[in-house]
Every structure is written in structure tokens, then in C-alpha cells.
Amino acid sequence: MAKALIIGAGGVASVAVHKCVQNSEVFEEICIASRTKSKCDALKEKLDGQGCKISTAKVDANNVEELIALIEDFNPDIVINLALPYQDLTIMDACLATKTHYLDTANYEPEDTAKFEYKWQWEYREKFEKAGITAILGSGFDPGVTGVFSAYAQKHYFDEIHQIDILDCNAGDHGYPFATNFNPEINIREVSAKGSYWEDGHWVETEPMEIKKVYDFPQVGPRDMYLLHHEEIESLALNIKGIQRIRFFMTFGQSYLTHLKCLENVGMTSIEPIMFEGKEIIPLQFLKAVLPDPASLGPRTKGKTNIGCIYQGVKDGKPVNYYVYNVCDHEECYKEVGSQAVSYTTGVPAMIGAMLVVNGTWNKPGVHNVEELDPDAFMEALNQWGLPWVEDFNPTLVQD
């Protein structure tokens, strides 16, 4: 029986909280702590008495001292960081100071530069190892399940994986002309950045949205998808032996792209501060304030997501192609936990990763990306906790 401190009370945290409550055999007690305490209290009110014991707290996760005080007071076995990527390092510092396990779903990104990479968090490896505590980086869907799928493919079906295409399709329709499915600031920073992929030992950079393909997604149908830079490419390039190329594609509808281009053209997606009526504001943060809250999309979103990976490589000298994916239905997710599928597909793997750390399966001192750990228990838990996966040994490949 374990205690978990969940930091953040947004779309993803809400799903993780629901799943911890469902899994009260493992999570005996949780504390939900965030900047806006009323959101934590609302979750507690909804779920109290349905599983584990719930408490709430207010915390500024940019402040290490506040975090340490909260961890010392609640004394959790693990901290599940579901705030924003800006808070990763302060929360890791607090975990080190209190010798508490750590898990997140997105890698650290400095607030003033739209550049996410693992180097800052990988610098904590030795410190976590020495302290005897485990940090699991990127235990959402992508990164997260995509890394577990890769470890599973490597372990069971390949001697060498040569190519990976990660395909993230959201065919959900929320009825708004423009909205983002998770935190708008993080989402827009991600899609307006240059694209890149890994080939023959180095990064190849592309202009934003330069490479477009069409793919016929199982249970969804044909969709336009675009090559993006994505954080798991960086760790998979190191952890999958023999890898030659890794690409990441995400689907976008024409309306989303037209709105985004227009917002970019007028300067609304910039993270450079500007003066407005005597006050400094960041255009992208202002934009976030006027866009629909991702949490409010839940009741309106219809359709499915399909996220998975296509692997090409060799086993026993013979070529092998393997596609593994999950399909999630927005309305079914909403019925179960009151959130749409993008939050659901991230919050469920966060709970599973935390469960494996606290039950000892993934308790390995140091800082690890998910594909470094044994995938089998995680794969089994995906089927059990709402994200069943499908295998295809004769998939349609992405055309070059």
C-alpha cells in the first residue's frame, strides 16, 4: 500500500487521480496539490469515499522549499508531477532532498526558450542513484507508452530495430473552430517549433509542418499528418540498438492549421514579452487565457484517437514489420472519468508508471526513460486499466 503526491490539477492530473482512486489496492492515500487549490478540492469532492483516502494542498511547484515542506508533511512514496514541464527540476530537487521517488510525463523546458530536451534531467542521474531513489521520465502516452511499445518490440520481436515511425492521430471533434487538447501554451510551443527527425546518428531539421503525409489509421480512416520534433526521439535514439531512423507524426485538421498560421502571423504565439498598457505580457500566455480550457472540451468531444508505433527491422536474419497501437474513444473516456481521450491517454500511463515504481517492479535508483525498464508489466497494465493495444504484423508503412 502506497501514498502518492500528485502535483497539478489539470486535465491529465484529473485522469491520474481517477485512476489512482480506482486502484486503491495499490494507492492507499493520495494528496492532490496544485497552484489553484479549488481545483484539487473539486476533485476530492467528486471522488471522496470511492477508493483511496484523498487530501488536498496548495503549492507553488516553482518553489523548492514549499515542495519540501509539503513532501515532509504528507510523506509520500512517490511524487507524480502533472504540472507543467517548467516545474520538472524544482520538483526533482525536492524529491532528492526528501529521498522520494519521482515520475513525470513531459521533459523539462525552460520558460523563456521553446526548447525541450532531456539534458537537464539526465544530469540528475548520479544524484538519484546515490540517493537510492527512482525518477521515471515521460510516463504519459507520447512520451511514455511509445517508449514502452519500443522496449516491448525490441524484447519480443526484433534482433535489431532499424526504423520507428510514431503516429499520433487525434480524430476528435470538439466543435470549436480552434482549441487545443492539452495545455494551449505547451501545445502551441510544440507545433510552431521546427520539425526534426533522427537519421544515421544525427538530427535532420525541417521547417515547421514542412513534411506532410496521409495515413489510413485503423478504426479512424485517412488523415493528414505532419512531422514534428518530439521528445521521445532523443531517448529512443540512445536506447534502441541498431536504430537508423526515428520520425514522429501528428495529425492536424486544416481548420486548426489555418487558425494557427493566422495567430502566428499576427504575433500571438510569441513567447517574447511585450508591454501592454504599462504591463509586461507574453502574447502566448494571453492567448492561452482566451482559448477554451482543455478540461472544458471533455463533454463536447466526439471521435477517436489512435496512437502507435510502426517498427521495421530484422529477427533471425529476416525482415520484420510490426505496428502496435491503442485506439481510444473520447466519449467513452468522458463517461468513465469526465475527461477527453488526450488527457486520458496521458493520465492512465502516469498512474501505471507510478504503480510499478511503488510496487517495486520499476524501482531502480537513478533517472530513467521508460524504454530502459522491462515493458511486460506495463503492457499488461495498459490492457487492464483502459488502454488496450492492438498488434499488426503486416501494417501499411508510411510512404517515404
Q: Which residues bind ligand NDP (CB under 6 A)?
A: 8-13, 34-36, 39, 59-62, 82-85, 87, 105-106, 138, 140-144, 182-183, 186, 294-295, 346
By beta-carbon proximity to ligand NDP, the closer residue of 34 and 154 is 34
Instruction: Give least dist CB 5 to ligand NDP, A.
Output: 12
At closest approach, how far in Å is the CB of 160 from ligand NDP? 26
Amino acid letter, residue 400: D
Please write down the HEC assignment for all residues of 211-260. Answer: CEEEEEECCCEEEEEEECCCHHHHHHHHHCCCCCEEEEEEECCHHHHHHH
Distance of closest approach, residue 291 Cβ to ligand NDP, in angstroms? 11
Q: How far is the CB of 140 from ligand NDP (least distance, A)?
A: 2
- Strand 101-104 relative to strand 78-81: parallel, antiparallel, unpaired? parallel
356, 22 Cβ separation under 8 angstroms: no
Cell numbers 504484423 correspond to 393
Please, which residue, 22 or 346, has the CB nearer to ligand NDP?
346
Cα radius of gyration rounded to whole Å, the chain: 20
CA dihedral for 194, 196, 349, 110, sign (positive or negative): negative
Nearer to ligand NDP, 104 or 313 (CB): 104
Query: Regarding beta strands 304-315 and 318-329, do their DSSP bridges make them parallel or antiparallel, or are they unpaired?
Result: antiparallel
Is the CB of 144 or the CB of 195 nearer to ligand NDP? 144
Q: How far is the CB of 218 from ligand NDP (least distance, A)?
A: 20
- Distance between CA atoms of residues 26 and 253, nearest Å: 40
- The residue number with the shortest CB distance to ligand NDP is 10
Greatest alpha-carbon span in the chain: 68
Side-chain-side CA neighbours of 271 within 13 Å: the count stands at: 16
Minimum CB distance to ligand NDP smaller for 66 or for 331: 66
Task: Write down the least CB distance from residue 245 to ligand NDP, Å.
Answer: 22
Cβ closer to ligand NDP: 295 or 398? 295
